[in-house]
Structure 1
Amino acid sequence: MKVVILAAGVGSRLGHGLPKALVKLCDEKTILDHQLENLKSAGLEDIRVVIGYKGGLIKERHPDLEYVINRRYYATNTSKSLLIGIRDLDEDVIWLNGDVVFDPRILHLIMEERRENLICVDNKKVGDEEVKYNLTSDGYIKKLSKTIPDGLGEAVGINYVKRETLPVLEESLMECHDQDYFEKAIEKAIEKGEKFKALNIRDNFCIEVDFPGDLEKAKKYCKENL
């Protein structure tokens, strides 16, 4: 299984002048450090990172990882970073945003359910910024975007796709506009007949660090779980 981490963005809303993957949480540990520890604790060590903005700083800190580059990071969104990240792969893939701080038990939930494509979700109250979802009657993703009016919670930015679905996902990512999030490609793949099960992360901590308030919550979690 391959892990793809999307870490090409500028992170302008956080305002640190660094890739968000390199923002420090606690005890000199960065968001990416935290992610790598979690992945390795779950036996996931085949890791590819999509870099762009100041990507050399990420390579400097973690020279042994595999890297691919989104050279148009300044003009594209996560759909195009994921396209670059999965291109040429022929295996199951877990992918995650490079700004997600999460409980490693989420990875174990994925490993238990990996017979199907998975979108990790929660049932918390959501606002305008969160990627929301709704479901079919049998528990599969129906819609996935920031604009859903009847969202059941947040899609938290950690997902799994089976090898057999990769060609359809890649085709769908190619159809996306530059500024589309990868969730648009998932909706396109669903329209083509693919199914993505909603995997509830239960009470396990998970937050995308977009704003200073998110970072404070992530730092608090890190300090409590050293």
Structure 2
Amino acid sequence: MTTQIVILAAGMGSRLGRSLPKPLTALGDGRTIMGQQHDNIRAAFGADAKITTVVGYRAETVVDAFPDAEYVYNDRYDQTNTSKSLLRALKATGKGGVLWMNGDVVFDPRVLGRALSLIEAEQSFVTVNTAKVSDEEVKYTVDAQGNIAELSKSVVGGLGEAVGINFISRADKAALIAQLGRVDDQDYFERGLELAIAENGVRVQPLDISDLYAVEIDFAEDLERANLFV
């Protein structure tokens, strides 16, 4: 079965201070952030992986750089957050499970290899890093069974940080779509997941990748840190 991948790349990424969309930021090895993501996806899932990218800000620059991907356009990219971009993508990808990632994450190729068994088992998951818990990042807690209980920037006593690479199974997809439709325009997609867990009984496992690198690029210092790995 073809694996469906979604990359969320609609935002303006203004904090990094670049004119191009953040996923087109060049890394030290000559690739862009999105180029590194595409390489990692192909390495894990092969040439048959179906990549759908949500674009908005300067969409044509992303399309020109990666003409073989499929695209969903968020025409309200300047008024909405990742919840609404993911909603558009999930509606465009049929009934199958979807692996999705933020378009500004530079990550170890082994992350997706570690995720394969959960994807094949149709087990929804959120990739996490337990090595650090920063106040400004999305944090999580777990329930008695070890599944995700809370998932937001406001979590108190978080066990770690969400990395921005996640999977929703075929069985759980409809519940997440419904909740993403309910949340506020400025909510992150994690709010939809949190509601699907609380109200629909969706079970989402934390996938620990603390021993691997994954860097979300928000500021110039994040880019410097990512370049230490690539």
TM-score grouping bracket, smaller chain normalisation: over 0.9
Structure 2: runs of 5 or more not aligned: none
The answer to whether the aligner puts 1:105 opposite 2:113 as a matched pair is: no
Query: After superposition, where does 1:3-82 map in structure 2 within 5 Å?
Result: 3-44=5-46, 45-82=49-86
Task: Give percent identity, aligned residues only.
Answer: 45
1:212 and 1:126 map into 2 onto residues whose CA distance is 20
Query: After superposition, where does 1:1-226 map in structure 2 within 5 Å?
Result: 1-44=3-46, 45-88=49-92, 89-114=94-119, 115=121, 116-191=123-198, 192-222=200-230
- Paired residue type of 1:200: D
- Paired residue type of 1:199: L
CA contact (8 A) 2:54 2:74 kept: yes
2:42 and 2:132 map into 1 onto residues whose CA distance is 31
2:42 and 2:173 map into 1 onto residues whose CA distance is 23
Alpha-carbon shift at residue 221 of structure 1 (Å): 1.1
Q: Which stretches of structure 1, 4 residues or more, deviate above 4 A after TM superposition?
A: none
- Paired residue type of 1:96: M
2:128 and 2:146 map into 1 onto residues whose CA distance is 12
Secondary structure, in 3 states, of the residue corresponding to 1:180?
coil
Superposition RMSD in Å: 1.0
Alpha-carbon shift at residue 124 of structure 1 (Å): 2.0
Secondary structure, in 3 states, of the residue corresponding to 2:226?
helix
